[in-house]
Amino acid sequence: MNLQTLTHLLIPALPQLACPRCGSSFSLVGTSVKCGNNHCYDLCAKGYINLAPQHDQSKEKYDATLFQSRNRILTDGFYQPVLDAIARMLEAKHGKKPFVLLDAGCGEGYYARQLAQRFHEASIIGLDLSRDGIRAAARQPGDVLWLVGDLKQLPLADHRMDCVLDVFTPANYEEFARVLKPDGELIKVIPDSDYLAEIREAFQPYLRQEGYSNQLVVDHLHKNAEILEKVEVRQTFPLNEEQSRCFLSMTPMGFSVPKEVLEKTVLREITLHLQVLRCKVQKEK
Ligand SMILES: C[S@@+](CC[C@H](N)C(=O)[O-])C[C@H]1O[C@@H](n2cnc3c(N)ncnc32)[C@H](O)[C@@H]1O
Ligand SMILES: [Zn+2]
Residue ranges per structural domain of the chain: 3-281
Q: Is-contact 127 151, C-beta < 8 A?
A: yes
Residue from 43, 42, 36 nearest 19 by CA: 36
Residue from 87, 79, 77, 132 nearest 107 by CA: 132
Residue 284 pLDDT more than 70?
no
> What is the model's pLDDT at position 285?
52
Q: Is-contact 16 100, C-beta < 8 A?
A: yes
What DSSP element (H or E) covers 264?
helix 259-264
Give 283's pLDDT tier (boundaries 50, 70, 90).
Answer: low
Mean pLDDT of 236-243: 95
Which segments of 171-210 are extended strands (E)? 180-191
Is domain 3-281 in CATH 3.90.1010.10, yes or no?
A: no
Q: How far is the CA of 16 from the centre of ligand 1 (A)?
A: 21
Q: Residue of the nearest CA to atom 3 in ligand 1? A: 168
Q: Which amino acid does the sequence have at 222?
A: H
> What is the model's pLDDT at position 12?
95
Q: How far is the CA of 116 from the centre of ligand 2 (A)?
A: 29
Q: Which amino acid does the sequence have at 90?
A: L
Which ligand has the minimum distance to the alpha carbon of residue 38? 2
> How confident is the model over 182-239, as pLDDT tens digits?
999 999 999 999 999 999 999 888 887 777 788 888 889 999 999 999 999 999 999 9
**What is the spatial distance between Cα 258 and Cα 273, in angstroms, rounded to a whole number?**
26
**C-beta of 70 in contact with ligand 1 (< 6 A):** yes
> What is the model's pLDDT at position 247?
93
Q: How far is the CA of 26 from the centre of ligand 2 (A)?
A: 8
> What is the model's pLDDT at position 99?
98
Residue from 215, 209, 70, 182 nearest 130 by CA: 70
Query: Are β-strands 100-104 and 161-167 bridged in parallel, bridged antiparallel, or unpaired?
Result: parallel
**What is the spatial distance between Cα 186 and Cα 176, in angstroms, rounded to a whole number?**
8
Q: Is-contact 132 34, C-beta < 8 A?
A: no
Residue from 83, 106, 93 nearest 228 by CA: 93
Q: Residue of the nearest CA to atom 14 in ligand 1? A: 105
Mean pLDDT of 47-66: 87
> How confident is the model over 116-133, as pLDDT tens digits?
999 999 999 999 999 999
> How confident is the model over 144-188, as pLDDT tens digits?
999 999 999 999 999 999 999 999 999 999 999 999 999 999 999
**C-beta of 110 in contact with ligand 1 (< 6 A):** yes
**C-beta of 150 in contact with ligand 1 (< 6 A):** yes
Q: Which of 25-34, 60-69, 86-95, 196-205 is least confident?
A: 60-69
Name the residue of 106, 128, 132, 146 to mutate for ligand 1: max ligand atoms within 8 A of Cβ.
128
Burial zone of 211 (CB within 10 Å; 0-12 exposed, 13-18 middle, 19+ buried): exposed
Q: How far is the CA of 35 from the centre of ligand 1 (A)?
A: 26
Angle subtended by helix axes 110-118 and 80-94, to nearest 10: 50
Q: How far is the CA of 158 from the centre of ligand 2 (A)?
A: 15
Average of per-residue pLDDT values in the chain = 93
- For residue 164, which phi and psi values (nearest 5 degrees)? -110, 130
